[in-house]
Amino acid sequence: MTDLSCLDLFAGSGALGFEAASRGATRVVMVDHSPKAVAAIANNVKILAAGQRLKIVRSDALRFLASVNSRFDVLFLDPPFHDGWMDRLAPIVPGVLAADGIIYAEAETLLEGLGDWRTLRHGRAGQVFYHLMRRGEADGTE
């Protein structure tokens, strides 16, 4: 993760964003719509003194993506299940993710990809399917 720019779009607890920062990401933006989630993340940023590289944004995911003027190297996606988020995000991802960027996504079903990004590795933990995607790569199993 060293020197990478990361977007944790449905941050929730912020676990993925904090992990990226702890592994050397230079910039981590954590976005969540829930005031409680954003407050908890902000509190943890203070406790961990991790504020220099972290930015917390309270916003709807689609509104945030429409306002972004930069691209990210890594996109973390763990949206609410059964709400059609992956289909809504697919056409927007190329505008916010670097051409050689990667996506880590968690979903309720196995995903072949997201837009131009194809699942390179995948697995399952309980009822959650996790995926690592790269642009144009073939599917595989971890």
* Structural domain of 42: 5-135
3-state secondary structure of 46: helix
CATH number of the domain enclosing 103 = 3.40.50.150
Does residue 9 fall inside a structural domain? yes
Does residue 120 fall inside a structural domain? yes
Does residue 20 fall inside a structural domain? yes
Cβ 29 vs Cβ 64: under 8 Å:
no
Tens digits of per-residue pLDDT, 23-60?
A: 999 999 999 999 999 999 999 888 877 767 899 999 99
Cβ 100 vs Cβ 72: under 8 Å:
no
Does residue 76 fall inside a structural domain? yes
Residue in this structure with the two tokens 């060293």, named with its chain if needed? 2
> What is the tally of structural domains in the chain?
1
Does residue 140 fall inside a structural domain? no
Query: What pTM value is reported for the model?
Result: 0.90
Read off the pLDDT band of 132 (50, 70, 90).
Answer: very high
Does residue 51 fall inside a structural domain? yes
Task: Fill in the DSSP letter of residue 139.
Answer: P
